[in-house]
Amino acid sequence: MIVKTATTRPTKLRQPFSHWSVRKLADHLATRPGRKVVVGRERLRQILIAEGITFQRTKTWKESPDPLKNEKLARIEWLLEHARDRTFAFDEFGPLTIRPVGGSSWSPEGKPERLRANYHKPHGSRQFYAWFSIGADQLAGNLEPCKGSAPTLRALASDQGQCR
């Protein structure tokens, strides 16, 4: 029950903070409705460590919101297997300086909580268009001041893009 509480986000348990500290966790366990657990902070820390739960920084990730993501990935895998010499990967990445904001929490060892990456660019950004020819094993790219159809077509039509 202690481990389950420690690995649950405090907001899910109607607490007004986003991460547990040892003090907050001990206070919550001692005052929770139903089964109360009175345990000192050092003993609580020992219990969590014995169960493989350590205080870790959160990590970030980005996930595609595309509902057809799995079908597209299956098509890419098929192309890589069956048409390698005619396949190239193209990507537009930007802004180049994503600065996610991490935090910390009690989590199973080696499995920190993950947060979506976010960023704010008050002075603009640059977009990097890159492509990799699978069959020719060549990488090329263009840096553009903005994204859109015109920079994408410029990147695809550039001399470096002719790595077929």
**Per residue in 100-154, pLDDT tens?**
556 677 778 877 776 655 555 666 677 788 878 777 788 888 888 877 888 888 8
Instruction: Look at residue 61 in the predicted model and tell me its pLDDT.
Output: 67
Supply 122's token pair: 């008050």
Q: Does residue 13 contact residue 5 with C-beta atoms inside 8 Å?
A: yes
pLDDT at residue 84 above 60?
yes
Mean pLDDT of 91-100: 54
Q: How confident is the model at residue 162 (pLDDT cuts 50, 70, 90)?
A: very low
Highest mean pLDDT among 2-11, 52-61, 76-85: 2-11
State how far Cα 54 lies from the chain centre.
20
Instruction: Look at residue 164 in the predicted model and tell me its pLDDT.
Output: 36
Sorted by where each begins, the domain ranges of the chain are 2-51, 60-161
Spatial separation of the C-alpha atoms in residues 106 and 3, rounded to whole Å: 9
pLDDT at residue 92 above 70?
no
Sign of CA dihedral 45, 49, 55, 60: negative
**Identity (one letter) of the amino acid at 161?**
G
What integer best gives the mean pLDDT of the chain? Answer: 79
Mean pLDDT of 27-45: 91
Angle at CA of residue 83, ends 78 and 84, nearest 5°: 100
Helices (H), 60-133: 69-82
